[in-house]
């Protein structure tokens, strides 16, 4: 069976955005190392924001397209929800197969509670079927508050240095910044390609945009988190993995929809509010429970999470 041109271009865009995001993340880590911050901080802030660039770019591009009269609401919401599932279900599940994921309980309680609250807040702002500018402002401000909390937890708001012991890069900071900016430009161009071809596919296949966003784009834009999660666990840096996944999901539940709705009102599909969001909340609670236990997430938990994610995708596709 031949792959259609729009699907081939969409897959090309996903591959390009994963590659360019890796460039962004690798160079952002080196810049962060210069300031000697902790693994968890790098995971929550640097890696989460960096690896979530695909979601942000895809969402903002979809929002700008609405100014031209194109209907992209369901793509915006579907991408955000699909990315959250991809990060918790696929990235964390695969990382659990490779090693043990754990987190200090006090830190897990703080960040886990914020993640659950962010997921609940997304549902609340979508109750009336549309995210308006005032609600979008609340989503963005809550994420800004979360970032400040993380900075404060790291001690950076008081001028106290981070806790990392490894040496920062001795030189070449300018080179890292240049590569970082080049990677960002590549991410933006790839995101434009993804949104354009996703809209074409939704029309050709006769399916809702949210289905494309949750499945194909959701999985594709989660590839950076998958690569980072597995690589970090293999290298014995589980703190990077856990921090990245928790930070990424907190970001994805707040920032993409919030930024898009600041530009244009975003419709919130009822079926996502009734099924997908509660399912995401349940999976989040399960993962946080695994991390709270002393054994953390290992192979059995990883297999279970992957199985739940696969079952979810099947249900979504059949329902679409």
Q: What is the pLDDT of residues 280-313, one digit of tens each?
A: 999 999 999 999 998 899 999 999 999 999 999 9
- Domain membership of residue 164 (yes or no) is no
- Distance from C-alpha of 256 to C-alpha of 57, rounded to nearest angstrom: 9
| Tally of structural domains, the chain | 1
Q: What is the DSSP letter of 99?
A: S
CB 78 within 8 A of CB 212: yes
Which CATH number covers residue 117? Answer: 1.20.1420.30
Angle ∠(27,30,34) on CA atoms, nearest 5: 145
**Helices 105-125, 133-154: crossing angle, 10 deg rounding:** 170
- Domain membership of residue 224 (yes or no) is yes
The pLDDT value recorded for residue 93 is 93
- Domain membership of residue 166 (yes or no) is no
Higher pLDDT, 156 or 239: 239
The pLDDT value recorded for residue 158 is 59
User: How many C-alpha atoms does 283 have within 13 Å on its Cβ side?
Assistant: 30
The pLDDT value recorded for residue 162 is 47
The pLDDT value recorded for residue 201 is 82
- Domain membership of residue 163 (yes or no) is no
- Domain membership of residue 113 (yes or no) is yes
C-alpha to C-alpha distances, 125 to 1, 28, 31, 52, 265, nearest whole angstrom: 42, 33, 36, 22, 12
> pLDDT (tens digit, 9 = 90+) per residue, 155-170?
766 555 544 444 545 5
What predicted TM-score, i.e. pTM, was given to this entire model?
Answer: 0.80
User: Taking every pair of C-alpha atoms in the chain, what is the biggest distance, in angstroms?
Assistant: 60
The range of the structural domain enclosing residue 285 comes to: 5-155+172-319
- Domain membership of residue 49 (yes or no) is yes
Higher pLDDT, 271 or 155: 271
The pLDDT value recorded for residue 107 is 86
Token digits for 80? 């955000």
- Domain membership of residue 160 (yes or no) is no
- Distance from C-alpha of 169 to C-alpha of 175, rounded to nearest angstrom: 11
- Domain membership of residue 162 (yes or no) is no
Q: What's the whole-number average pLDDT of the chain?
A: 83
Report which secondary-structure segment, H or E, holds 278.
Answer: helix 277-292
């Amino acid at each position: 069976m031949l792959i259609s041109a729009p699907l081939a271009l969409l897959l090309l865009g996903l591959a390009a955005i994963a590659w360019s995001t890796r460039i962004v993340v690798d160079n952002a880590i080196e810049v962060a190392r210069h300031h000697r911050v902790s693994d968890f901080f790098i995971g929550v802030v640097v890696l989460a924001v960096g690896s979530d660039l695909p979601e942000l770019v895809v969402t903002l591009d979809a929002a700008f397209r609405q100014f031209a009269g194109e209907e992209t609401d369901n793509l915006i919401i579907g991408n955000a929800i699909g990315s959250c599932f991809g990060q918790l279900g696929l990235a964390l599940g695969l990382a659990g197969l490779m090693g043990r994921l754990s987190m200090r309980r006090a830190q897990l309680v703080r960040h886990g509670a914020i993640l659950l609250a962010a997921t609940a807040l997304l549902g609340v702002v979508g109750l009336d079927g549309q995210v308006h500018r005032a609600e979008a402002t609340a989503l963005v401000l809550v994420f800004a508050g979360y970032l400040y909390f993380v900075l404060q937890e790291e001690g950076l708001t008081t001028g106290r240095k981070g806790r990392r012991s490894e040496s920062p890069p001795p030189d070449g900071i300018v080179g890292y910044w240049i590569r970082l900016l080049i990677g960002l430009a590549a991410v933006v161009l790839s995101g434009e390609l993804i949104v354009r071809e996703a809209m074409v596919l939704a029309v050709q296949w006769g399916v809702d945009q949210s289905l494309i966003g949750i499945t194909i784009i959701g999985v594709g834009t989660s590839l950076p988190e998958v690569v980072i999660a597995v690589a970090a666990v293999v290298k014995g840096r589980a703190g990077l993995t856990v921090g990245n996944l928790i930070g990424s999901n907190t970001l994805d539940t707040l920032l993409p929809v919030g930024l898009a709705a600041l530009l244009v009102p975003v419709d919130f599909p009822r079926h996502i509010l009734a099924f997908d969001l509660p399912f995401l909340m349940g999976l989040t609670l399960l993962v946080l429970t695994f991390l709270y236990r002393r054994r953390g997430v290992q192979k059995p938990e990883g297999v279970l999470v992957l199985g739940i994610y696969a079952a979810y995708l099947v249900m979504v596709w059949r329902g679409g």
